[in-house]
Amino acid sequence: MKMPDSPRVLPRSVVWLFALASGMSVANVYYAQPLLDALAQEFNISQGAVGGVITATQIGCALALLLLVPLGDRVDRRRLMAVQLLLLVVALIATGTAQSASALLAALLLVGMLGTAMTQGLIAYAASAAAPEEQGRVVGAAQGGVFIGLLLARVFSGAVSDLAGWRGVYLSCAVLMLGLAAPLWYRLPVLPAVVNSLSYPRLIASMVTLLRQEKVLQVRGLLALLMFAAFTTFWSALVLALSAPPFQFSHTLIGAFGLVGVVGALAAGRAGQWVDRGYAQRTSAVALMALSVAWWPLSLMERSLWALVIGIVLLDLAGQALHVTSQTLILRTRPHAHSRLIGLYMMFYAVGSGLGAIGSTAAYAYAGWQGVCLLGAAVSLTALIFWWMTWRGMPGVTTLPPGVY
């Protein structure tokens, strides 16, 4: 396998393009969440079954991580990105013009696949295009775009649906994504060719080998699983708590609390710079301690909404700092396998999110909001203890050249 030459420092405009494209791509996966009631009414789906809309999208996400994201290690990333973007536009149009529930679910599965493939492909692309000394900063910027895209997707979807209906959301997004095609094609750097002799089946099978051999992936993946489980524990139960007495907030107002998390995007780029300077383990320690401490103000929500805001800021800052740190360390292990490494890492994320969603609703049903906070604190402390048990021998204690761990 021929390794690419060391890339040059990326212009700031290109880094911003990576962030913008990542945010716009991931947003497509989450537009449906505020639209469930409208979709249920349009297609005569029961309230109990309309969750299948989200399930279809998440199945698409999982399929993308396993089957599409790894392609970036075998084919030209720039051309792959162009094909995926055009197919995503078609999937968005198919969603916006769906005339039956089955057509809607099929189209949303494709939106989940292609939106996820583009998002994670762009992060791998950014890591490969960045010079070694700025890899953390560039990955952090792209991940910051993802985080903002996640938060703003629900706000955008709700606002556009009020003006143009739910179909207008997907059709307008198709236009926006199509408008992104030219900047991506002409501005994203052309990477040196990497000759990969693996066939597609062997490429997918090699992910098992990577998972078995890479200790950094194993450790940071488990940290991601625990961190995202804690993260989802909070966000899954928050709507239950704030929509019930004594608050009884509207869904719009509850969603506004998510905008507080934009502060977390600021941590993404900064955390990447700290990794570039060799402070990955210190960043991880501080992030995990903040993640654990965050549950104290969150537990005081019923006394003060300001405590809730402080807790959200701590939770999001910690989560994004740890996420970017883990991604950067993993991507430095094997420069020729960035796409497969991202796909594997995000599978840990998916498992953690699923476990957190299940655990949080069960905890809330049995012990209310305090039970949710106890569960989240326990998971966060488990992550901190696991980091303490495994940090020695991991990269990020001192500055090391990429690829030597």
Who wins on pLDDT, 344 or 265? 344
Integer Cα distance of 231 and 180 in angstroms: 31
Q: Which helix (H) or strand (E) holds 341?
A: helix 338-390
Query: What does the pLDDT look like over 41-94, one tens digit per residue?
Result: 888 877 657 667 777 887 888 899 989 999 888 888 889 999 999 999 999 999
Query: What does the pLDDT look like over 243-285, one tens digit per residue?
Result: 788 888 875 677 677 777 777 666 666 787 888 888 889 999 9
Q: What are the C-alpha distances in Å from 342 to residues 64, 126, 320, 399?
A: 11, 12, 16, 22
Q: Which of 123-137, 250-264, 284-298, 376-390 has the lowest mean pLDDT?
A: 250-264
Question: For the range 258-263, what are the long-range contacts, defined as Cβ-Cβ under 8 Å and sequence gap of 24 or more?
Answer: 258/151, 258/154, 259/151, 259/152, 259/155, 260/309, 260/312, 260/313, 260/316, 261/147, 261/151, 261/312, 261/313, 261/315, 261/316, 262/147, 262/148, 262/151, 263/313, 263/316, 263/317
Which domains, and CATH codes, for the chain? 1-197 (1.20.1250.20), 201-405 (1.20.1250.20)
Band (pLDDT 50/70/90 cuts) for residue 35 is confident
Does the pTM exceed 0.95? Answer: no
Helix orientation angle between 305-331 and 215-242, rounded to the nearest 10 degrees: 160
Output the pLDDT for position 404.
30
Helix orientation angle between 338-390 and 52-63, rounded to the nearest 10 degrees: 100
Integer Cα distance of 328 and 403 in angstroms: 12
SS3 391: coil
* Dihedral sign computed on CA atoms, order 77, 57, 313, 251: positive
- Contact predicate 99/115, CB 8 Å: no
* Dihedral sign computed on CA atoms, order 18, 22, 25, 28: negative
